[in-house]
Amino acid sequence: MLAEIINSNFNRYASGAEKDLFFETRKQAFEAFETMGFPTQKNEEWKYTNIKGVTAGSFEMSDERPAHAKTIFEKSVLNEIKANQLIFVNGIFYPDLSILLEKDKSIVLTNLANARTEYSELFNRHFSKYAKTEEHSLNALNTALLNDGAFIYVPEGVKPEYPVIINHYIDSTHINVLVQPRNLMVIDKGAEITLIETYESIGFNASYTNVVSEIYVAENAHLEHYKVQQQAGESYHTNFTQMFQESNTSINQVTLTLDGKLVRNNLHFYMNGKNCNSLLYGLYIIEKQNTVDNHTRVDHAQPNCFSDEKYKGILKDQSTAIFNGKIIVHLDAQKTNAYQRNQNVLLSDEAVVNTKPQLEIFADDVKCTHGATIGQLDEEPMFYLRSRGIPENEARKMLLNAFADEIAERIKIPELVELLEKKIEEKL
Amino acid sequence: MLSIKNLSAEIDGKKILDGLELEIKAGEVHAIMGPNGAGKSTLSAVLAGRPEYVVTGGTVTYMGKNLLDMSPEDRACEGVFLAFQYPVEIPGVSTTNFLKTAVNQKRLYNGLEPMEATDFLKMMRQKMELVEMDKSLTGRSLNEGFSGGEKKRNEVFQMAMLEPNLAILDETDSGLDIDALRLVSNGVNKMRNTERSFVVITHYQRLLDYIIPDFVHVLYKGKIVKSGDKELAKELEVKGYDWIKNELEAAV
């Protein structure tokens, strides 16, 4: 059972750790996790997602440094992007494989473990301040037993020349692994950056990846953030991303879920200042008996903010999708504009979608819409294409590509769009 | 070219075509007229192979082959083209990509190599002139946000690109103003030749002032009840369909 494995791992960690603030944070998180335990389907937020495959499984935390990390990275499509690259395998940082292109040395691109000592002031100010541990047991679990992950700091007014790609490889070649990457990004006032988080698997044993990313966006800053999940096979992946926005900030976020046995994405935006602009787009392509669950939450806590959300899914075989989108407009958040849509195309009679767009509005001067659709590919466009000589299969592919295109066009990195197109081609 | 014998078809269990007969030779233009609900659009749908229509009897032979046995895409590749009454908007599929796929699928079907990109673009330019279509439209998603006239011009443009043997125009004149009507008709007329046949389905005689038919047929209650030349269309314009209905009832 995973719970016992976690318990013994934390005890081992606690016996050797220095009893500082970091330790206290983790100890509290561990206690919170012990109290809450793994989420079950009795929890409303997990009603349709069963993580028995995780909790009943046996996973090990590994300190092993796989020798073949280099070859894997070189094969990756994202390797071709001219970008700063941070490489992690099973949560262990590989500085020798990482690529840092920025000439401006004020930009910090490093790992969290290093940041804790070298940038302790920044670390202590932001670490575990945004992703709540008391409500989300998997956040607590990550905080208690995190491996390592990216630490990024973009100073005031700085605009890095290249994007930053955070590559997390999960290697289950020899054993079933438990990996808990933890990323912390701080974008200071007026700064602008493009971040890509990607998760890929190596090996055929099972893996459980439990990620927490905290992203703080200070006044007038802009963030492009792309999350790409392509861990394959017996990969279980839960992810919690918390964006914390100060006033006059804008974020364009795209979440691509392209593979995995079970994927749960929690993406939360908290608008802590006025005039924020938050765009959330997602695409999931699911096959076999796999499950993809997207839970998003946008907290409009301040006036005059705008959010636009669109998640689209293509489901094959006996796959299951869950979408739960919450927009919460707080009492003070007058003049809020918030939009949310979820659209699903089912390619099989046996695929299932549970979708729940949710609005909770406490202010009175707001504009909000939400909606969801589930259906098969429309027959009219299909017949139109076929009547021009395009075979049924090809026509279906064209229409699905067109369906996905609405999300793809939100991505500003051509290589990433290419990767997406290639994946769609493979899957369909 | 096309021989329809005793054709019956239904949709959702409702009989629409009821023993329809029609013979079309290469190079001929046949107009099919008739009141609402007579089965005009059903005829075009059945010929193009729309899946929701069920053929319950009769045969359709196209260039010596059983048309009803073919999938919609094979019919297109064999040279049958349907200009839709309501062209479908397909966001995310560019007109250029769509046409390139369609043209090359047809070539593949007929054992030809795909067209070179430059040849294809040249062909596009030439054919667009035929209906004076704006170049900017081909970069946009297929029919998305096109006006009624642009959509119909796009149909004739596609027809020109695919160079069919048999073109079926389903109420191509509906929703067109007089200028668009002239443009669309000119496009069709330029494509007329001794090899290519047309079935022009229309409610009104107006279109037939521009596309002069060799034959005019009146479709009523699922069958052709009267045939003639272009003068028949003019007569219908004056007398209306009631004239035919009354004539039929009198005969009974």
Give, for B166, the enclosing helix (H) or strand (E).
Answer: strand B166-170
On whether residue A299 sits in a domain, the answer given is no
* Alpha helices, DSSP H, located in A110-250: 112-118, 120-126, 137-145
On whether residue A357 sits in a domain, the answer given is no
Cα dihedral across residues A54, A60, A63, A65: positive or negative: negative
- Report whether pLDDT(B212) > 80: yes
pLDDT, tens digit (0-9, with 9 covering 90-100), for A315-326:
999 999 999 999
Burial label for B55, CB within 10 Å (0-12, 13-18, 19+), is: middle
Of B73, B141, B162, nearest to A391 by CB-CB distance is B73
The answer to whether A59 and A177 have CB atoms below 8 angstroms apart is: yes
The answer to which of A35-39, A330-334, A392-396, B248-252 has the lowest mean pLDDT is B248-252
Instruction: Choose the final residue of a domain: A233, A250, A273.
Output: A273
Distance, CA of B37 to CA of B41 (rounded, Å) = 9
Same domain membership, residue A386 and residue A269:
no
What distance lies between CA B147 and its chain's CA centroid? 20
Cα dihedral across residues B112, B114, B119, B124: positive or negative: positive
Q: Searching chain A, which residue's CA lies closest to the CA of residue B91?
A: A402
Phi and psi at residue A389, in whole multiples of 5°?
Answer: 95, 5
**pLDDT number for residue A17:** 86
B93 touches chain A (CB under 8 A): yes
On whether residue A129 sits in a domain, the answer given is yes
**Confidence class of residue A383 from pLDDT cuts 50, 70 and 90?**
very high
- Tally of structural domains, chain A: 2
- Report whether pLDDT(A112) > 90: yes
**How many angstroms away from the CA of B91 is the closest CA of chain A?**
7
pLDDT, tens digit (0-9, with 9 covering 90-100), for B111-126:
999 999 999 999 999 9
B72 touches chain A (CB under 8 A): yes
Instruction: Please spell the DSSP secondary structure of B87-103, one letter per residue.
Output: PPPEEEEEHHHHHHHHH
- Report whether pLDDT(A70) > 80: no
Same domain membership, residue A390 and residue A266:
no
Distance, CA of B78 to CA of B73 (rounded, Å) = 9
Q: Searching chain A, which residue's CA lies closest to the CA of residue B73?
A: A389
- Report whether pLDDT(A422) > 80: yes
Answer left, alpha or beta for residue A295, where phi above 0 means left and psi between -120 and 50 means alpha: beta
B72 vs A386: CB contact, 8 Å cut-off?
yes
* Locus of tokens 């190079």: B27
- Report whether pLDDT(A110) > 90: yes
Rounded average pLDDT over A298-314: 97
B129 touches chain A (CB under 8 A): no
**pLDDT number for residue A286:** 96
On whether residue A284 sits in a domain, the answer given is no
**pLDDT number for residue B246:** 86
**Confidence class of residue B54 from pLDDT cuts 50, 70 and 90?**
very high
Same domain membership, residue A383 and residue A267:
no
Contacts of A405 in chain B (CB under 8 A): 92
On whether residue A305 sits in a domain, the answer given is no
On whether residue A166 sits in a domain, the answer given is yes
Q: Token pair for residue A18? A: 């220095």
Instruction: Please spell the DSSP secondary structure of A59-105, one letter per residue.
Output: -B------TTHHHHHHH-GGGGS-SEEEEEETTEE-TTT-B---S-T
Residue of B251 and A279 predicted with greater confidence: A279
B88 touches chain A (CB under 8 A): yes
The top-scoring range by mean pLDDT among A57-71, A209-223, B127-141, B210-224 is A209-223
The answer to whether A150 and A111 have CB atoms below 8 angstroms apart is: yes
**How many angstroms away from the CA of B48 is the closest CA of chain A?**
7
Please count the residue pairs, one from chain A and one from chain B, whose beta carbons lie less than 8 angstroms apart: 73
B84 vs A384: CB contact, 8 Å cut-off?
yes
Question: Structural domain of residue A393, as residue ranges?
Answer: 379-428
Distance, CA of A186 to CA of A193 (rounded, Å) = 10
- Could you give the C-alpha distances from B20 to B5, B55, B84, B226, in angstroms and in order? 6, 12, 21, 12
Q: Mutating which of B52, B70, B86, B90 best tests the A interface, going by the most A Cβ atoms within 10 A?
A: B90
Same domain membership, residue A267 and residue A386:
no
pLDDT, tens digit (0-9, with 9 covering 90-100), for B213-239:
999 999 999 999 999 999 998 888 888
A405 touches chain B (CB under 8 A): yes
- Report whether pLDDT(B251) > 90: no
Distance, CA of B127 to CA of A357 (rounded, Å) = 47
Contacts of A399 in chain B (CB under 8 A): 90, 93
Give, for A279, the enclosing helix (H) or strand (E).
Answer: strand A277-286
pLDDT, tens digit (0-9, with 9 covering 90-100), for A225-239:
999 999 999 999 999
Pairing label, strands B166-170, B80-83:
parallel
Contacts of A402 in chain B (CB under 8 A): 90-93, 141
Same domain membership, residue A148 and residue A15:
yes
Mark which residues 155-194 of B lie under 8 Å from A by CB: 158, 162
The answer to whether A59 and A207 have CB atoms below 8 angstroms apart is: yes
**pLDDT number for residue B24:** 96
Cα dihedral across residues B59, B63, B64, B65: positive or negative: negative
Q: Token pair for residue A365? A: 């001067």
On whether residue A308 sits in a domain, the answer given is no
Distance, CA of A253 to CA of B64 (rounded, Å) = 58
The answer to whether A296 and A280 have CB atoms below 8 angstroms apart is: yes
**Confidence class of residue A292 from pLDDT cuts 50, 70 and 90?**
very high
- Report whether pLDDT(B252) > 70: no
Upper half-sphere CA count for residue A117 (Cβ side, 13 Å)? 3
Q: Token pair for residue B80? A: 């049958």
B105 touches chain A (CB under 8 A): yes
A386 touches chain B (CB under 8 A): yes
Residue of A71 and B18 predicted with greater confidence: B18
pTM above 0.90, yes or no: no
pLDDT over 90, % of chain A = 84
Distance, CA of A183 to CA of A166 (rounded, Å) = 9
B231 touches chain A (CB under 8 A): no
Q: Token pair for residue B187? A: 């496009």
**Confidence class of residue B37 from pLDDT cuts 50, 70 and 90?**
confident
Burial label for B54, CB within 10 Å (0-12, 13-18, 19+), is: middle
The answer to whether A175 and A145 have CB atoms below 8 angstroms apart is: no
Instruction: Choose the final residue of a domain: A230, A255, A273.
Output: A273
* Nearest residue to B199 via CA among B106, B83, B59, B73: B83
A393 touches chain B (CB under 8 A): no
The answer to whether A251 and A225 have CB atoms below 8 angstroms apart is: yes
Same domain membership, residue A268 and residue A390:
no
- Report whether pLDDT(A428) > 90: no
* Nearest residue to B131 via CA among B155, B113, B95: B155
Instruction: Choose the final residue of a domain: A273, A292, A313.
Output: A273
Distance, CA of B155 to CA of B177 (rounded, Å) = 16
* Nearest residue to A199 via CA among A241, A281, A258: A258
Rounded average pLDDT over B189-216: 93
Of B49, B75, B90, nearest to A384 by CB-CB distance is B90
| Side chain identity, residue B3 | S
Give, for B21, the enclosing helix (H) or strand (E).
Answer: strand B14-24
Q: Token pair for residue B53? A: 């229509």
Pairing label, strands A291-300, A320-329:
parallel
pLDDT, tens digit (0-9, with 9 covering 90-100), for A245-255:
999 999 999 99
Rounded average pLDDT over A123-148: 95
How many residues make up chain A in this entry? 428
Greatest Cα pair distance in chain A: 72
**pLDDT number for residue B224:** 94
Contacts of A377 in chain B (CB under 8 A): none
On whether residue A224 sits in a domain, the answer given is yes
**pLDDT number for residue A137:** 95
A377 touches chain B (CB under 8 A): no
Rounded average pLDDT over B151-180: 92
